[in-house]
Structure 1
Amino acid sequence: MRHQHFIAILLFLSFSWFCKGQYEFSGHIDIKNWEGDVYLSIVKDYRKISGIYPEQIISKTSPDTLGYFTFSGNNLSSQNNIYRIHIDSCPDETKDIAHFAGHCINSKEVLFVANNSDTITLPFTFDQEMFCSVTSTNEKANTFIKIDSLKELMRYEFGSYRSQANWDLNAKKWFKKFQEYGQQLDEPLAELYSYAFLSNRSKDLYTYYLNDLDHTNYYNDLLQRLQTTYPNQPYTEQYKKELAADYFLIHKSQEETSSKWIYLLASLFLISLLINIYLFISKKKIASQKQVTSTSLTKQEQKILDLILQNRTNKEIASEIFISVSTVKTHINNIYKKLNVTNRDEVKSLYKTT
């Protein structure tokens, strides 16, 4: 008898242990508007958090005649992950085209946080699921729906008045609100959901995100929370790499700006240096020519030089100092050689410069 009781206890304990790792995700769809299978996906890449990606699908089921469906089993991770349930109305022969790059206009989805032990009841319909409640044994399951509600409020405020001033004020306000709210939820995966939205490179918010990243410690703190809560998850490694890439982008931009200023200042310095060298050489040349003028010219040549500078002709010079025109020409040629010039214009230019 004791032996039978012992076996019964073992069977009970074994059954309890086996059932402990069971999950069950159930919900309902409107079969009048939506036909076909329902898919369960695990999202490992938070940049593909919304959409249809065949590589993420882990299970599918068909709703019953009333539209109810259930996913159950014990093959999920015991750690929280991001899951998505979706249905689409695309025919099988066009799904590859309709689901290109994850986009599908004929689909509905619900995102939630869960693990292998959770029982979750999803909204009655996929329509406007962001305003519904997800009933779950996991208190973190609702986090994405709460953040989606914040997104709607944010879009409304940004769209109320389109101006740069309004945009700047709202960006600062909503970045802070998302960050504070994410920390209150105490679920780093929910913060990643907000981060993926705010740091999307194809959106206007990306510029403000880079500025925020450069001036706040929030993003490094989030990395620490992820490393503590999800040390071995791909989300953490992906976030770490993206953060490093964005910091590199910021610093590279700052370095390029600094380099531009350095190149500009260096160019101005070089131009200034060349001008000073030119002026120095010119001044030295002029000083040398002045020295030649004062020491090498004879008294007669000096008189003729003065008359040249007064714009006198050869004939006028000859009449002024009582010599022949040919003698004037000889003196002028000697002056040219001594001053290292070739004509009267150069003589006058030299005199004006001095």
Structure 2
Amino acid sequence: MRFFVLISFFLTSSVLIAQYHFSGEVSQTNAGNIIYLSLVEDYRKSSRIYLDQIVKKAQVDSLGHFQFEGNNLPLKNRIYRIHLDGCSDSSEANHFLGQCNNSKSVLFIANNQDTVQFPTSFEDQSLCSIISTNPKSAELLQVEFLKDEMAYDFMEYPSEASRKLNSKKWFTVLQDFGKTSEEPLVELFIYDFLSDKGNETYAYYLKNLSANPYYENLLTRLQSTYPEAGFTQQYTAEIATDKELATFNTPKTWYLKYLLQVALILSLLANVYLLSMQKLNVKIKARSLRNKLTPQEQKIVNRILQEKSNKEIAAELFVSLSTVKTHINNLYKKLEVSSREEIVYLFKK
């Protein structure tokens, strides 16, 4: 599935300075589907789609082409995602935020001055190859390729001895690749994978963190290249916390474990508080937006929340089906959404 291509080419004089242009091709069966551009500032949110990451959306044309362009992105490199929503528009579609079996996405590195293309591969696969003016753009695809090789090694011999040997081998391989890339964002992407609590690598990561100077060196590189970025502060806090956690794998006095439990409880309470505040802000925003709707639009919103189909809404309001569709299109514009599911998410209790 993964097919890695990186070809560097230079911008022509006709391309505006400090203006990005991301374009590509997908299957013509996706004509009319929505495709999204997201900015992934939080490296812990690189594994799936988040609404708060989306910065732009476009529509795939009849030939399968899409493009994003402008001059509003950061001048320094960042991780971006292009995500094709291949889900059905049917109210019966079972998907969350456009993620279903035939959705596709790609992570890449770029900045406000880059031209990046995503051609189909020789196997007619979309979003699997990259041509860019930025030599770092396709590095994340290569990391994914290495992760696939790593998974194969772990599965081939699942013994405890093999797991320890493979952990040591692949930590070295991936970290060396990150350093060779000379792009701390690539290293952060690798770090996110190796230190993920849900991965089998996590136990080895805690041991490696205490003994390996790599993590402190990465912090120095981040502070030098991206001193003001939120992900630099995030990484600083994480390795400090994880180093403390790693010390509990060795014999310590009881009160240190007690302090860890208190810290974990406080962290849980803080997360609960932040989540409640986020939900409150969504409700405040929804209330403000709803007050701007016409009475007829509010009636339609109520029926969308009741999972009524367009035909059912038309019958209940004694209007034509085309009138309902017009009202729904107007709702999308006013609420800045692109699907019924997003309306439900916005106004759910």
How high is the TM-score relative to the length of structure 2? 0.64
Q: One-letter code of the match for 1:258?
A: K
Q: 1:97 offset after TM fit, Å?
A: 7.0
Tell me the distance in 1 between the aligned counterparts of 2:92 and 2:77. Answer: 30
Matched, 1:42 2:39: yes
Instruction: Tell me the residue number matched to 2:241.
Output: 245
Whether contact under 8 Å (2:19, 2:70) holds in the other structure is yes
Instruction: Tell me the residue number matched to 2:53.
Output: 56
Tell me the distance in 2 between the aligned counterparts of 1:129 and 1:62. Answer: 15
The secondary structure found in structure 1 opposite 2:253 is helix
Q: 1:18 offset after TM fit, Å?
A: 9.7
Matched, 1:222 2:234: no
Q: Max radius of gyration: which structure?
A: 1
Q: Judging changes above 3 Å, is the alpha-carbon distance between structure 1 residues 26 and 95 closer, same or farther for their aligned structure 2 residues?
A: farther
Whether contact under 8 Å (1:86, 1:109) holds in the other structure is yes
Tell me the distance in 2 between the aligned counterparts of 1:233 and 1:39. Answer: 23
Instruction: Tell me the residue number matched to 2:178.
Output: 182
Q: 1:71 offset after TM fit, Å?
A: 0.4
Q: One-letter code of the match for 1:63?
A: V
What do the CA deviations read for 1:185-209 (whole angstroms, capped 9, x no partner)?
1000001111111111011110011
Tell me the distance in 2 between the aligned counterparts of 1:64 and 1:34. Answer: 5
Query: Paired residues, what number?
Result: 243
Matched, 1:259 2:253: yes
The secondary structure found in structure 2 opposite 1:98 is coil
Q: One-letter code of the match for 2:206?
A: L
Identify unmatched segments of 5+ residues in structure 1.
1-15, 263-354
Whether contact under 8 Å (1:223, 1:239) holds in the other structure is yes
The secondary structure found in structure 1 opposite 2:252 is helix
Whether contact under 8 Å (2:19, 2:114) holds in the other structure is yes
Select which of 27, 30, 47 maps to 1:30: 27
What do the CA deviations read for 1:149-171 (whole angstroms, capped 9, x no partner)?
11111111111111011111100
Q: Judging changes above 3 Å, is the alpha-carbon distance between structure 1 residues 228 and 222 closer, same or farther for their aligned structure 2 residues?
A: same
Q: Judging changes above 3 Å, is the alpha-carbon distance between structure 1 residues 60 and 118 closer, same or farther for their aligned structure 2 residues?
A: same
Select which of 138, 152, 172 maps to 1:142: 138
Q: 1:92 offset after TM fit, Å?
A: 5.1
Q: One-letter code of the match for 2:182?
A: D
Select which of 134, 139, 156 maps to 1:160: 156
Q: Judging changes above 3 Å, is the alpha-carbon distance between structure 1 residues 128 and 30 closer, same or farther for their aligned structure 2 residues?
A: closer
Q: One-letter code of the match for 1:184?
A: T
- Mapping of residues 96-175 of structure 1, within 5 Å: 98-99=95-96, 104-124=100-120, 132-175=128-171
Whether contact under 8 Å (2:174, 2:190) holds in the other structure is yes
Q: One-letter code of the match for 2:67?
A: T
Matched, 1:212 2:213: no
Identify unmatched segments of 5+ residues in structure 2.
1-12, 257-349
Q: Judging changes above 3 Å, is the alpha-carbon distance between structure 1 residues 161 and 127 closer, same or farther for their aligned structure 2 residues?
A: farther
RCO (CA 8 Å, sep 6+): is it higher in 1 or 2?
Answer: 2
Q: 1:251 offset after TM fit, Å?
A: 2.4
Tell me the distance in 1 between the aligned counterparts of 2:130 and 2:193. Answer: 21
Q: One-letter code of the match for 2:96?
A: H
Q: 1:81 offset after TM fit, Å?
A: 0.5
Instruction: Tell me the residue number matched to 1:70.
Output: 67
Instruction: Tell me the residue number matched to 1:192.
Output: 188
Tell me the distance in 1 between the aligned counterparts of 2:157 and 2:32. Answer: 41
Q: Judging changes above 3 Å, is the alpha-carbon distance between structure 1 residues 206 and 129 closer, same or farther for their aligned structure 2 residues?
A: farther
Whether contact under 8 Å (2:32, 2:61) holds in the other structure is no
Q: Judging changes above 3 Å, is the alpha-carbon distance between structure 1 residues 68 and 209 closer, same or farther for their aligned structure 2 residues?
A: same
Tell me the distance in 2 between the aligned counterparts of 1:190 and 1:198. Answer: 13
Q: Judging changes above 3 Å, is the alpha-carbon distance between structure 1 residues 146 and 129 closer, same or farther for their aligned structure 2 residues?
A: farther
Q: Judging changes above 3 Å, is the alpha-carbon distance between structure 1 residues 18 and 166 closer, same or farther for their aligned structure 2 residues?
A: closer
Cα root mean square deviation, aligned: 2.8
Q: One-letter code of the match for 2:224?
A: T
Tell me the distance in 2 between the aligned counterparts of 1:171 and 1:251. Answer: 20
The secondary structure found in structure 1 opposite 2:105 is strand
Tell me the distance in 1 between the aligned counterparts of 2:229 and 2:135. Answer: 20
What do the CA deviations read for 1:300-348 (whole angstroms, capped 9, x no partner)?
xxxxxxxxxxxxxxxxxxxxxxxxxxxxxxxxxxxxxxxxxxxxxxxxx
Select which of 58, 80, 83 maps to 1:83: 80
Instruction: Tell me the residue number matched to 1:265.
Output: none
Whether contact under 8 Å (1:129, 1:145) holds in the other structure is no
The secondary structure found in structure 2 opposite 1:71 is strand
Whether contact under 8 Å (1:22, 1:72) holds in the other structure is yes
Deviates more, 1:86-95 or 1:59-68: 86-95
**Normalized per residue, which structure has more helix?**
1
